[in-house]
Copies of this chain bind each other. A is one copy, B any other.
Amino acid sequence: MKVIRTIQEMQQYAQAIKQERKSIGFVPTMGYLHEGHESLMMEARKNNDIVIMSIFVNPLQFGPNEDYDRYPRDEARDQKIAEQNQVDVLFIPSVDDMYPQEQTIQMKVIRRVNVMCGKSREGHFDGVATVLTKLFHLTYPNRVYFGMKDAQQVAVTAALITDLNFPIELIPVPTVREQDGLAKSSRNVHLSKSERSEAKYLYQALLKGQKLVVDGEKNPANIVKEVKNMIDHHINGKLDYVELLQFPSLEPLSTIDQQVILAAAVYFNNARLIDNLVFNKDGMLTSRI
C-alpha cells in the first residue's frame, strides 16, 4: 500500500492512473477506522481497479464548540486496517496543504441542511462540500463510497455531484452495527459504560418507528412521537432530534407516501450519536438516492 501525504503527489498519481484507463474507487474518511469504514473499502475493492482512501479530520466541518481537537486519531492502526482491506493508496494530507490560505471561494449548502444534523451543526455541511470538492479534484474517482449512517452527508453529496456535474457515481453503503444494533462510529469510544448500554436504544427506537409504518401508520408526527418516547424512556443523554423526512430531498411530508428517512441524534456526555433508517412507504428498508 502506498501512503501519499501531499496534494501534489496525490493529484499526479491519480492523473497517471486515469491515463492508464483504470477506474478509481474513493473512500473519504476522518480515520479512526472501524468496521463501517471496512465495508466501504470492501465495496470499493469489488468494483474498481484502484482504491484510494483518504484520512483527513477536516477542520472546516467542525464548529467552534465541537470536538475537532478530541476527535479520535490513530494513524498506525488505520494504516494496518487499510492494508488488510487491500487499499492501494492511503492519502493523508496535512491541514496546511489542504488549506494553505484563507479561501476566496466558499461553498454553501442551502437545501437539505435546515433539518437533522444541519440544524445543530451550522456550517458543517459547507465544510463537507468544500473538502469533498477538493478531494474529488485530487483523486479523480469514478465512484465514491459513503456510509448510510451519515445519511444527511449522503443526501448533500448527491446534490453536490448533481449540481456541479461531477463525473462521479455515489455509492451509499448500509450502516454496520454492533451485536446489539448500535451503529459503528469512531465516536463510540467516548461513551461511558452506562452510556454504552443505553446507546443501543437509539436503534431500537428507530426500528419501532419503522415497524409502525409496516403496520400501516402513515402520519410522520405519530411515528416521531413514539420514537421520542422510547428514547426518553431508555436514554439519559439529551435528545437532539427525531425527524421523519423525504429522502434524499430531506423535505418534510405530511403523509408517508414515498421513500423517507427516520433519523435521530442524542447527546451523551462526550459524544453525540446519530442513527437512521431509510424505508419506503410500506416500511421496507431501501436507500435509493
Among B7, B105, B111, B134, contact of A159 (Cβ-Cβ < 8 Å): B105
Number of copies of chain A assembled together: 2
Q: A21-B19, A103-B110, A104-B112 are in contact. Are A164 and B11 (CB under 8 A)?
A: no
Question: Which residues of A (73-120) have their CB < 8 Å from a CB of B?
Answer: 102-112
Tell me which residues across on chain B come within 8 A of A105, comparing CB atoms.
107-110, 129, 159-160, 163-164
A156 close to chain B: CB less than 8 A: yes
Question: Which residues of A (6-30) have their CB < 8 Å from a CB of B?
Answer: 7, 11, 15, 18-19, 21
A33 to chain B, nearest CB (A): 24
Are B104's CB and A167's CB within 8 A?
A: no
Are B15's CB and A134's CB within 8 A?
A: no
Interface membership of chain A positions 128-168, coded 1 if the CB is closer than 8 angstroms to chain B and 0 otherwise: 01100110011000000000000000001001100111110
| Given pairs A103-B163, A105-B129, A133-B164, 15 additional interface contacts (CB within 8 A) | A7-B165, A15-B167, A18-B18, A18-B19, A104-B112, A104-B156, A104-B163, A105-B163, A106-B108, A106-B110, A107-B108, A108-B108, A130-B164, A134-B165, A137-B165
Residue pairs across A and B with Cβ atoms less than 8 A apart, 8 shown, are A15-B167, A103-B110, A104-B111, A104-B112, A105-B109, A105-B159, A106-B110, A134-B164
Instruction: List the 9 closest A-B pairs by CB distance, nearest first.
Output: A104-B159, A104-B111, A137-B165, A106-B108, A105-B163, A134-B165, A103-B163, A106-B110, A133-B164
